[in-house]
Structure 1
Amino acid sequence: MARPTMEDVAARAGVSRALVSLVMRGSPKVSAARRAAVLAAAAELGYSPHAMARSLASRTSHVLGVMVSDLHNPFWAEVVDGLDLYARGAGFELVINTGGREPGRERQALASLASFRPAGIALLGPVVPTPAIDAAAGEGPLVLVSRSSRSSAVDTVNDDGRTGSALAVDHLVSLGHREIVHIDGGNGSQSTPRRTGYRVAMDRHGLAPRVVRGEYTEAAGAAAIRALKEPFTAVIAANDLNAVGVLSALTELGLRVPEDVSVVGYDNTWLAALRHISLTTIDQPRHEMGRLAAEALITRVRGETASAARLVVRPSLVVRATTAPPRVSPDNR
């Protein structure tokens, strides 16, 4: 069946379309009797106002566009939870799509969101080129989560990746590890500060850094472990999803965690807390990051600020069952 329209409601209630529009907008100019008639007709037909249509008709949008870089990563689902909770409390709705961690697809996804004429757009972990982000910011309020920007028109929310990686290194060194490998996030968002934090921390402890190129995926974590040739006793993975791939590959190679190899993830998603995984990881306050992103975006939408927000949350270490002191010999290969 076709979606019922405002015209259908007007015909059922015996009133004009303009009056139905006033009722749906909550206008006080409608009598109680006519309001009741319109609402009853809408309920009978199963009609609900279309958010996009309301925005176009009133020229005032209460919709926020959200592009998620990777729908397979539970980290982003938890960020969206925080963003959605704040947005709904402020009277905004979300329209969500994804670019699948591919620059070309993200360009299309960003253009698609813009076509809805949202009040503002949040990009979560985007890999789309900077010029495309700046162009979108020229059209309306825009906030980045887990990516930096120099543009005064773009707000950002990040965790302190350098500190997070250093926390992981310090934890492993405190247990006695010296052969510590970092699988990075490749060209992914925030891979550079985490890689830098790892290198600086290893140098501070007088240890040689070993970075393996990776991605924020389970497959990349497994592939990186299979490619390692030199001895190692500990791995700092790009994120929790990457760490799951590391755990899988270590099991395939006959190595026990944490008896033979310790593993640290990054994000502290629900995946890390599963009892059979129990991953030591670096916590990013996901809901808080989502809330801060929504708050920054809506503040811009309401014209309450013209300066760029550069919001940074502090990560913390969560110790679980995947880290322990190394064996006497680090030659676990």
Structure 2
Amino acid sequence: MNEKKRTTTRDIAKACFVSQSAVSMILSGRKDIHFAPETIERVKRTAKEMGYEYKARAKRKKTGTNDTIMIICPSLATQYYTTLIQFITQEAQEHGLCTLTAYTNRSKEREEYYLNMAADTGFYGVIYTYAPRAVTSLNHLHEKVPLVLINDHNPDLKIELLELDSKKSGRLIAAHLLELGHRDIGYMTTPLSSIEVPRRRRLEGMQEEYERQGFDPAMIHVISGKREDQETITGNKHYDTGYGLTRKYFKKREELLYKKKEDSEAAQILKEKKKVEKIEKIKQEDISSKHAIENKEDVKETGLENITAFVGTNDFVAIGIMDAITSLGYRIPEDFSVCGFDNTLVASFSGISLTTIDHCIGEKGAYAVSMIMNQKNRMEQKDGKREKKRPIMRLEYEPQLIVRHSTGRR
């Protein structure tokens, strides 16, 4: 006789359309994680109906992870993050420490899961490599575990910071392109959501530099993806974004140029008519021609067809742009210039030679470990006594423009 299959948290999660980790946190009564009341009620009711009995696990002993630094990162397909992880790991090993890479794919729920793991199992420290979504949990954790963030400054976070000055990076790129004679440029990026701080600040930096030099910031045309695609094993969403958006842009560009040519011809016809007819008669009889002129002005105002340079929000977006441009028969930089951000290894390859911004990846990775170790020492020296509140360390690295062969004079 077959035994009845034991109900698991996976079964409950599937029935409630929530994640397995969410079920575990709700049934364990976690007070530091917040779920909607109806979600809590649905999970508990389903667990009861399915005959699930929650057994609290004994608190794990803080062994095995007390010499391990957790590295929380959003991507393993982007060379910026894999390089940063490598430098963090090398520096940690120099000091007899281990690292564990916690891959989130930018999921807030996964962030919460790993932060809870760090708190429960006594990790040596946590290094965040991107703008966190689980801000509240992160602020709660810093009292227990050494934390360092490598990203742009976020005033809502009360943790130590290795700052990326993404605005300055944007200003450097804009100044370089303006110096080369470019005016209308395209900023190609994955979605510019409020939580993706570096992407937005790079754009803001470019706009500020245009204003500083007396140019209209509207000449920077934002061409962005509509949604944040999930990473796959076989692809790179950043490269795919750059390639796909560029192909779409050039299709639109051809339409705009064709429209502009039509409108120009219509305007010339109208000009000839004005020589032999009264203006009042033209207004009545040539409405279509007048409309063509108005359309011409609209096209002129958009300026999309005038783009001569593209800026990818990171190196892989930029490389996708480059491949799309060359696949259409254009030349880089003779026809179009391309820039990126991050100065990853692949950007320096001779076949790519991408102009980009260097963020001192190696130095940041190594110094993040030093900051974690300093915090750990301070916590241990407290020895049960309340330490006076210390200022939160905030260290900024100066971005540098790396000029290669992907940009040229207009």
TM-score in same-fold range (> 0.5): yes
Deviations 1:100-156 (Å, cap 9, x if unpaired)?
123333333433444442021111114423223223324322111124333574111
In the superposition, the TM-score normalised over structure 2's length comes to 0.61
Q: Residues 77 and 189 from structure 1, CA distance in 2 versus in 1: closer, same or farther, beyond 3 angstroms?
A: farther
Specify the alignment match of 1:292 in structure 2.
367
Q: Residues 307 and 119 from structure 1, CA distance in 2 versus in 1: closer, same or farther, beyond 3 angstroms?
A: farther
CA contact 1:165–1:198 (8 Å) conserved in 2: yes
Q: Residues 200 and 57 from structure 1, CA distance in 2 versus in 1: closer, same or farther, beyond 3 angstroms?
A: closer
Specify the alignment match of 1:203 in structure 2.
211
Specify the alignment match of 2:404 in structure 1.
320
1:56 paired to 2:62: yes
Specify the alignment match of 1:253 in structure 2.
328
Q: Distance in 1 between matches of 2:157 and 2:209?
A: 32
Comparing 207-216 and 138-147, the one that deviates more = 207-216
Could you tell me which of 223, 243, 249 is aligned with 1:212?
223
1:268 paired to 2:352: no
In the superposition, the TM-score normalised over structure 1's length comes to 0.75
Query: Which secondary structure state, in structure 1, belongs to the residue aligned with residue 341 of structure 2?
Result: strand
CA contact 2:122–2:145 (8 Å) conserved in 1: no
Specify the alignment match of 2:14 in structure 1.
none
CA contact 1:203–1:209 (8 Å) conserved in 2: no
Q: Distance in 2 between matches of 1:57 and 1:109?
A: 17
Q: Distance in 2 between matches of 1:257 and 1:90?
A: 45
Code of the residue aligned with 2:180 in structure 1: it is L
Taking every aligned residue pair, what percent have the same amino acid on both sides? 26
CA contact 1:142–1:153 (8 Å) conserved in 2: no
Specify the alignment match of 1:73 in structure 2.
78
CA contact 2:72–2:127 (8 Å) conserved in 1: yes
Q: Distance in 2 between matches of 1:268 and 1:76?
A: 12
> Cα offset for 1:89?
2.6
CA contact 1:138–1:153 (8 Å) conserved in 2: no
Specify the alignment match of 2:312 in structure 1.
237
> Cα offset for 1:61?
1.7
> Cα offset for 1:284?
0.9
> Cα offset for 1:252?
3.0
Specify the alignment match of 2:377 in structure 1.
302
Q: Distance in 2 between matches of 1:246 and 1:149?
A: 30
Paired residues, number: 272
Deviations 1:209-261 (Å, cap 9, x if unpaired)?
22222477112212322333322100111010111111122123332211111
CA contact 2:167–2:202 (8 Å) conserved in 1: yes
Deviations 1:254-312 (Å, cap 9, x if unpaired)?
32211111000100000101111111111110011112211111111111793311111
Q: Residues 94 and 189 from structure 1, CA distance in 2 versus in 1: closer, same or farther, beyond 3 angstroms?
A: farther
Code of the residue aligned with 1:212 in structure 2: it is I
Q: Distance in 2 between matches of 1:82 and 1:264?
A: 25
Q: Which has the larger radius of gyration?
A: 2
Code of the residue aligned with 2:329 in structure 1: it is G
Q: Residues 108 and 249 from structure 1, CA distance in 2 versus in 1: closer, same or farther, beyond 3 angstroms?
A: farther
Code of the residue aligned with 1:225 in structure 2: it is T
Code of the residue aligned with 1:87 in structure 2: it is A
Specify the alignment match of 2:151 in structure 1.
146
Query: Which secondary structure state, in structure 1, belongs to the residue aligned with residue 378 of structure 2?
Result: coil
Q: Residues 226 and 57 from structure 1, CA distance in 2 versus in 1: closer, same or farther, beyond 3 angstroms?
A: closer
Comparing 199-208 and 236-245, the one that deviates more = 199-208
1:100 paired to 2:184: no
Q: Distance in 2 between matches of 1:264 and 1:180?
A: 11
Could you tell me which of 105, 110, 119 is aligned with 2:115?
110
Q: Distance in 2 between matches of 1:325 and 1:176?
A: 6
Query: Which secondary structure state, in structure 1, belongs to the residue aligned with residue 368 of structure 2?
Result: helix
CA contact 1:158–1:289 (8 Å) conserved in 2: no
Code of the residue aligned with 2:182 in structure 1: it is H
Code of the residue aligned with 1:176 in structure 2: it is G
Query: Which secondary structure state, in structure 2, belongs to the residue aligned with residue 268 of structure 1?
Result: coil
> Cα offset for 1:193?
1.7
Query: Which secondary structure state, in structure 2, belongs to the residue aligned with residue 56 of structure 1?
Result: coil
Listed as ranges, the gaps of 5+ residues in structure 1 are: 1-54, 327-333
Q: Residues 116 and 150 from structure 1, CA distance in 2 versus in 1: closer, same or farther, beyond 3 angstroms?
A: same
Q: Distance in 2 between matches of 1:292 and 1:128?
A: 23
CA contact 1:280–1:322 (8 Å) conserved in 2: yes
Code of the residue aligned with 1:102 in structure 2: it is S
Q: Distance in 1 between matches of 2:377 and 2:248?
A: 51
Query: Which secondary structure state, in structure 2, belongs to the residue aligned with residue 75 of structure 1?
Result: helix
Q: Residues 217 and 127 from structure 1, CA distance in 2 versus in 1: closer, same or farther, beyond 3 angstroms?
A: farther
CA contact 1:102–1:127 (8 Å) conserved in 2: no
Code of the residue aligned with 1:190 in structure 2: it is P
Query: Which secondary structure state, in structure 1, belongs to the residue aligned with residue 338 of structure 2?
Result: strand
Q: Residues 189 and 217 from structure 1, CA distance in 2 versus in 1: closer, same or farther, beyond 3 angstroms?
A: farther
